[in-house]
Amino acid sequence: MPLVPMKAILDATDKFNYAQGAFNVNAVAQAKAVIEVHEMFRSAAILQGADLANGFMGGRVDFGNATLEDKKKGAINIANAVKKYAETSPIPIALHLDHGKDLDSCIAAIDGGYTSVMIDGSSLPFKDNIELTREVVKYAHERGVTVEGELGVLAGVEDHVFSAESTYTNPLDAVEFFKKTGVDALAISYGTMHGANKGRDTVIRKEIAIATKECMRHENIEGTLVSHGSSTVPQYIVKEINELGGDIRDAHGISMQQLKEVSKLGIGKINVDTDIRLAVTRNLRELFKNRPELQKSETVGDIYKLLTENKSAFDPRIFLPPIMDTVMFGTVPNDAIGAVVSCIEKGVKEVVGTLIIEFESFGKAYLVECISLDEMAQRYKKKGI
Ligand code: G3H
Ligand code: ZN
């Protein structure tokens, strides 16, 4: 079926009180794996490409310097692949831009085929954040595309999004933000943090989610609250990476128990990127240990070199530049690349499968309304948003 707007998937989480994991991808093989594992568990799927991930998937190896042109290319590459898989898929699938930097990046994603965008104005003053988000909502809703905003600042690093400290979201500001922007979803800051170094025993301030949701109910505001920075950083994966020659230190995530709790308290979307990065890194290291002949392979030997040169890295974008055609288009021209692709897919499925079960989206694909972008655009028009 065609891709659905993310709102269709989020509405079901609100109505039936569960959470949907939203999983970051940086390559076509990762998108394929995310979709396949959701199909296996009969869950709807939210795939997200971060702003700079689009740059990478547009062929920009130094993705930190990605231009708008690179992002446009990457958005088209990943959207084409996801649309192709979705055609024959029995589950509803949404493709979402994660941490869109500005209006142009959001437009690039929407025009490329994304069915949902996040505009991250969280570093701006409240009024400017509202103004920017409102502009994105106007462009997106006319096309039936979902919009997520952000209010409050998360600590940690994720691509160009960095902050040393967090500022928690004020529930009353959140209500005003929903009203003035018309966003469908809002990322709140309530104690989670981007990256693998969230600190030991991080406590989520769940009262912030509860209070925000309660204030929204009083004001009759429809909308989904989003938990960013929610990787659990599985300790067994970190240990295995280090045993395989990696050097990952002080890595701690959010406890599964807290995520499960907030999924029943108003959080409908839970973002996970770091856990996938870790599992894929572990699998790549393991592959070259188990198949030493690949270390000297003409096509994938350079991936091994990058792994040995970057022991503390766990971002697949650091390791995959030697196979950019595969990253961008999913091509598998020989057995060596096939082995790399297979270990990427397995890493994604291990992490994503676990979270589909823990967040309880399994078996719930049928609860999602399969609405087209055009129909959704009509609904927004009727409501005047
Ligand atoms: O936007 C993506 C998520 O917020 C990533 O969070 O670093 O905990 O995986 P994470
Ligand atoms: Zn995030």
Å from CA of 307 to ligand 1 middle: 22
Q: Is 225 exposed, middle or buried (0-12, 13-18, 19+ CB in 10 A)?
A: buried
Residues with CB under 5 A from ligand 2 (ion): 228
Neighbours of 301 (CB within 10 A): 15
Q: Which ligand is nearest to the CA of 48?
A: 1
Average pLDDT over residues 299-307: 98
The residues that bridge with 197 in the sheet, in sequence order, are 252
Six-digit token string for 179: 């009203």
Return the ∠ at Cα 79 (arms to 319 and 300), rounded to 5°.
20
Q: Whose CA is nearest to atom 8 of ligand 1?
A: 229
Is residue 120 a contact partner of residue 99, using CB atoms and an 8 Å limit?
Answer: yes
pLDDT, tens only, 330-380? 999 999 999 999 999 999 999 999 999 999 999 999 999 999 999 999 999
Return the ∠ at Cα 63 (arms to 59 and 65), rounded to 5°.
115
pLDDT, tens only, 225-247? 999 999 999 999 999 999 999 99
| Phi-psi category of residue 318: left, alpha or beta, with phi > 0 → left and psi -120 to 50 → alpha | alpha
Q: Is this model's pTM higher than 0.75 or not?
A: yes
Q: Is pLDDT above 80 for 224?
A: yes
pLDDT at res. 155: 76
350 lines ligand 1 (CB under 6 A): no
Question: Which residues lie below 8 Å from residue 291, measured CB to CB, with a gap of 6+?
Answer: 339
Helix (H) or strand (E) run with residue 203 in it: none
Domain ranges of the chain: 6-272+356-383
Helices (H), 125-229: 126-141, 171-181, 206-218
Q: Is pLDDT above 90 for 32?
A: yes
Residues marked as catalytic: 98
Q: Is pLDDT above 80 for 192?
A: yes
Q: According to CATH, what is the number of the domain 6-272+356-383?
A: 3.20.20.70
Average pLDDT over residues 275-290: 98
Six-digit token string for 363: 């078996």
| Phi-psi category of residue 202: left, alpha or beta, with phi > 0 → left and psi -120 to 50 → alpha | beta
Confidence of residue 84 (pLDDT cuts 50, 70, 90): very high
Six-digit token string for 384: 């005047």
Q: Is pLDDT above 80 for 215?
A: yes
pLDDT at res. 163: 75
Average pLDDT over residues 90-98: 98
pLDDT, tens only, 3-23? 999 999 999 999 999 999 999
3-state SS, residue 193: strand
pLDDT at res. 154: 84
pLDDT at res. 379: 98
Percent above pLDDT 90 for the chain: 96
pLDDT, tens only, 240-276? 999 999 999 999 999 999 999 999 999 999 999 999 9
pLDDT at res. 385: 82
273 lines ligand 1 (CB under 6 A): yes
Is residue 135 a contact partner of residue 100, using CB atoms and an 8 Å limit?
Answer: no
Q: For a substitution probing ligand 1, which of 97, 157, 194 has the most ligand atoms within 8 Å of its CB?
A: 194
Confidence of residue 164 (pLDDT cuts 50, 70, 90): confident
Taking the C-alpha atoms of residue 342 and residue 338, their distance in angstroms, rounded to an integer, is 6
Q: Is 253 exposed, middle or buried (0-12, 13-18, 19+ CB in 10 A)?
A: buried
